[in-house]
Amino acid sequence: MKNLFISEWQKLWRRKVTWILFITTVLNLIYFIKSSIKNNIGIKPDNIKYISALNFPSSLLKNQIVSIFDIMVIIFIVMAVTNEYRTGQLRMVMTRNICFDEIFKAKYLVIVSTMFLFLTVNFLLSTFLGYLALPHENVKFPYCLRTFTISESISYNIKYYIVTCIVLAAFISVIMCISVISKTAIEAVTLSLIFMFISVMLPELSLIFTSKGSSIYEILNSSCLTRIQYLGIDHLLSKSQKGIGIMITSIAFHGIVFYLIGLSSFNDRDYYI
């Protein structure tokens, strides 16, 4: 298992696209710093939209989570799963008397580890560059009534990145499942984007039949995975208990159930013929 993990890790990082995506996150960080400086003009520090060095890491990640990191996950998994067994690369690995379970687990762990690395670098760079380029005023975080000190802000940002990594792990399970059952890379990408779209828009579409304050809307709003990424993490870290149980259940459901479905499909030897 260890050798298989190392092999998959090296295979991923030998691809140019991995380094291109890594550089993209750094360039986006620099762009977001410039954008934050411009947006702060005319906004007081007690405004929730104000970005200082203290809330910059979590604000940056909230801006990146769907637009960059989710797309990265889709690209990495489609390359590692769908593309490999459709081009015959995966069949070569399977001829070496390696358990199907281990191949799937290794690929999953490599993607999770890669995204963890990306998040860690993103956090360290955003904390350092944000401290250099942005003001240091105490600021408010979403759904929090008071301003946070430096130590409280660092703690909040760390928690934000940890929760984001957990939600990303669940998202990886979903995309792994989709990629395994897809016949082509285009199909895998299309179905993954459809999942993201439904996960974002389903609560809004439900308004055709119900109202915004209804229990149906609140359940959908708290259970759709991509929506949790963009809006729910702030709720999870606030003192508000609204919808937290549903969010945690949804994250666990997506992470465990889709992982097991993907693993089961991957173990189907007839699927590779």
Give the residue, 115 or 142, on which the prediction is more confident: 115
Residue 269 confidence (pLDDT) above 70: no
Angle at which helices 2-13 and 16-39 cross, to 10°: 70
Confidence of residue 87 (pLDDT cuts 50, 70, 90): low
pLDDT for residue 273: 45
User: pLDDT (tens digit, 9 = 90+) per residue, 215-247?
Assistant: 787 788 888 888 888 888 888 887 776 778 888
Amino acid in position 141: F
* DSSP codes, 101-160: HHHHHHHHHHHHHHHHHHHHHHHHHHHHHHHHHS----EE-TT-SSEE-HHHHHHHHHHH
* DSSP codes, 138-154: -EE-TT-SSEE-HHHHH
Residue 251 confidence (pLDDT) above 70: yes
Query: Which pTM value belongs to this model?
Result: 0.89
Secondary element (H or E) of residue 212: none
- Give the pLDDT mean for 73-86: 81
Residue 139, strand partner residues:
148
Residue 210 confidence (pLDDT) above 60: yes
